[in-house]
Amino acid sequence: MKIGDTEIEDTFAEAFGMKYVRLIITADDEYWLEAGLKELTGYSSSVIACDAETGVEQYLSAEQTPDGRMGAAVLIFGFSTDGLQKAVPNRVGQCVMTCPSTAVYDGLSDGDKQVALGKQIRFFGDGFQKAKILGDDRHWRIPVMDGEFLVQDMLNVRAGVAGGNIILQGTCKTSALAAARRGAEAVAKTAGAIAPFPGGVARSGSKVGSIYKTLPASTSDAYCPTLRGRVESKLHPETVAAYEIVVDGVSQEVVAEAMKAAMVAAVGENVIRIGAGNYGGKLGKFHFQLHEILK
């Protein structure tokens, strides 16, 4: 299969079931909203070494937020509800409560389970915190130096899918980078999906295991141009750079939609091949066949 001059490999991406929460972050203005979002979503590209995979799902107008201010929806993925219970309050407490003018609300109306957010970090108020009911939900007002930090008591948790991916190969690094950016931007426009790596793109794709027993994952040598001739390469003979776009989403359908959008956006001059990473179907129960997605 080809789109223009770009070959689409007959392969599949292998993804995993994960749990996620959806936060709505609001602030007084764009500057402080971005400051809080950057802190909250930092160091969160892969649960191989991070406590969660996070990203901005979409920006929200004042009409779309609970308090009538500008905001954004953030998706946070973890392997388990227990994992989210540890990661989310830590990130919100350190990265959002500290950010001037921000507030945090639950972006899901229901879920399979719940994790405590304000219920846990309210203790920072040192006894001066107060409960507040907005609609049917409990929130906490925590006194801070510019007034109060308003944060929802509990967050709903749902099952999602993480690890959908495409790997593009280019005969020119500049063109490959531009293609990767186009693909990541297409994911960002897909509601319910995020691409958690820097700028939505990973240059250090990984394989399972390593020659070092303590490492659960190591460099995907089959896609490293400098290792041609030393390993069994999966690169086209003319490829000089390969980039991976990893997709997490709220459902299997959303991940497939985001992967399709990324592929269509990434094709172009000097993008010689688009494929995907998998582990032979042995690790993840969600298999995204590239040709089927494009159909």
pLDDT digit string, tens, across residues 164-210: 999 999 999 999 999 999 999 999 999 999 999 999 999 999 999 99
How far apart CA 96 and CA 222 sit, in angstroms, is 40
**What b/e string do you get for 257-272 counting C-beta neighbours within 10 Å, with b at 16 or more?**
bbbbbbbebbbbebbb
- Residue 188 φ then ψ, to 5°: -60, -25
Confirm if 179 and 168 have CB atoms less than 8 A apart.
Answer: yes
What's phi and psi for 67, nearest 5 deg? -110, 10
- Sequence spans of domains, the chain: 2-15+160-294, 19-158
Distances from the Cα of 227 to the Cα of 167, 173, 177, 221, 236, angstroms = 17, 17, 20, 7, 13
Mean pLDDT, residues 202-222 taken together: 95
pLDDT (average), residues 27-44: 98
* pLDDT at res. 83: 97
The answer to which of 28-37, 152-161, 250-259, 275-284 has the lowest mean pLDDT is 275-284
Same fold? 2-15+160-294, 19-158: yes
Confidence of residue 285 (pLDDT cuts 50, 70, 90): very high
> Helices in 189-294 by DSSP H: which ranges?
252-266, 290-294
pLDDT (0 to 100) of residue 283: 82
Amino acid, single-letter form, for residue 41: T
- Mean pLDDT across the stretch 132-155? 96
Please give the model's pTM, rounded to 2 decimal places: 0.96
List the structure tokens of 38: 């950057």
Q: What whole-number percentage of the chain has pLDDT above 90?
A: 96
For residue range 229-280, list pLDDT tens digits in order. Answer: 999 999 999 999 999 999 999 999 999 999 999 999 999 999 999 999 998 8
Please say whether the beta carbons of 6 and 67 come within 8 A.
no
- Residue 175 tokens, joined: 């063109």
The first and second tokens of residue 86, run together, are 């540890």
Domain 2-15+160-294 in this protein, CATH class:
alpha beta
- DSSP-derived letter for residue 202 is B
CA distances 293 to 164, 202, 215, 271, Å, are 12, 22, 33, 19
Domain boundaries 19-158, corresponding CATH code: 3.30.70.520
